[in-house]
Amino acid sequence: MTVLERLQAQLKHLNGIDFYRRKFQGASMDVGDIASLDDFQKIPFTAAKEFQEEIKKPPAQCSLYNPQVTRVNFSPSGQDLYPVYQTNQDLEVMHRVCARSLESAGVTPQDMVAVTFGYHLFIAGLFYQGQFEYYGSKVIPLGPGESARAVQLINDYKIGVLVSNPTFAMKLAEQGIPSVHTIFVGGEPFTSVQGYSEKVRAAFERDITIIDSYSMALCMPIARSCGHNTGLHIMDDFVYAEVIDPVTGSPLPLGEKGELVLTHLHKQAAPLLRYRTGDLTVLQRTSCACGRELTMPQSVIGRTDEMLKIKGVKFWPSQIATILRSYPQLSSRYRVEVDSLEGVDTLSLVIEGTPDSAMVLDKLASHLKTETLLKFNEIRITEKLEGGPSVVDKRKGRSF
């Protein structure tokens, strides 16, 4: 089936869900009239707030719930939790799609796998365990923490594949886990942080395969890298991805920075339709030996909900935090200050750090200009940055 045919089939399913049928009716749309991808882009977006308001309803009142649900995980939303529903068919499709990526990562059914992500309420641990089991690999559900026990089990059972956040993986590597040849990382920014992969390989003291992923609880999987290091490939047999201008909602061409929008191609329970993730990224087509093309070269690089316009350029302050992670000499505490001098916007960055850390400021300035397309008027170090907002826009008298 083509992408359009998959979308058309999914739209028929969505038309039977009150939440989406009301959306179609409100836009005076008939899903049977969607005859092209251009037509599909006329469907209204789904906002995170409206989706969460529906999904938090008790199952008997929630139209996104499906009577065939067999697993309920949860994900945090502020102080609350919202459910993540899966049917057996949802799980089977998810595992099948992931199995393709495991093969392209060089994993085999003979590999022993250790998963250190959490289990219980949240989805990550079972998400990985399920796909490796479906693929035929042998899985030990280690869970988080207890590094001494983890090292012992990894060495006793000659674990070849480790699933972990990068920080914990390096902690284990320092204690010696020579059998590990591949790690699946998540839970922290990775691909978008310059030098992080080199740092992890240095901790292992050898060349290992590192697979990065981008997912969210409502849509797992979304994108994952392979063994060829060409970026994070969109799982385009599971999800349809678009990038839009976060202000106008207009679709953007490949290569332009914007907000990621997702639609499930196969999902029975709690499916997403043109769901605005709020995540800032870039999509491009990259020919890869693994067979996938649509790729996020740097994973998520910021959030779209705090956009500013400076010197005529769209600027997302949350990019700063991602960029600073590439500089271990600098603190993650910072403040962006925007002002106007004689009608001209000015942009400053204050970072908490020691005087010695100033040696990387020239490199940082160049990095910031490349990523944000803006030249900062001032970048300075302060030994103590008082608490408060990380962004101050004096032009409009607001901060956040």
For residue 329, the model assigns a pLDDT of: 85
Long-range contacts (CB closer than 8 Å, 24 or more residues apart) made by 84-91: 84/123, 84/217, 84/218, 84/270, 85/55, 85/269, 85/270, 86/269, 87/268, 87/269, 89/266, 89/268, 90/266, 90/267, 90/268, 90/269, 91/130
For residue 354, the model assigns a pLDDT of: 84
Nearest CA among 234, 286, 291 for reference residue 260 = 234
For residue 373, the model assigns a pLDDT of: 87
For residue 80, the model assigns a pLDDT of: 87
For residue 343, the model assigns a pLDDT of: 80
Cβ count within 10 A of residue 24: 18
Rg (CA), the chain: 22
Mean pLDDT by 10 residues, the chain (400 residues): 96 97 95 96 96 96 98 88 97 97 96 94 94 98 92 98 95 96 90 87 94 94 94 97 96 96 97 97 95 93 85 87 88 90 89 84 92 91 84 85
Rounded Cα–Cα distance for residues 96 and 90 (Å)? 10
Distance of CA 376 to the CA centre of its chain: 27
Q: Given CA atoms 153, 114, 226, 133 in this order, what sign does their dihedral have? A: positive
Question: What is the model's pTM?
Answer: 0.87
For residue 359, the model assigns a pLDDT of: 87
**Tokens 């403040």 sit on residue:** 335
* 8 A C-beta contact, residue 239 and residue 262: yes
Rounded Cα–Cα distance for residues 36 and 131 (Å)? 33
φ and ψ at residue 102, rounded to 5 degrees: -65, -40
End-to-end alpha-carbon separation of the chain, Å?
A: 46
Joined together, the tokens standing for residue 311 give 């010197």
List, in order of start, the domains of the chain with CATH numbers. 1-43 (no CATH), 85-302 (3.40.50.12780), 308-399 (3.30.300.30)
For residue 192, the model assigns a pLDDT of: 80
For residue 237, the model assigns a pLDDT of: 95
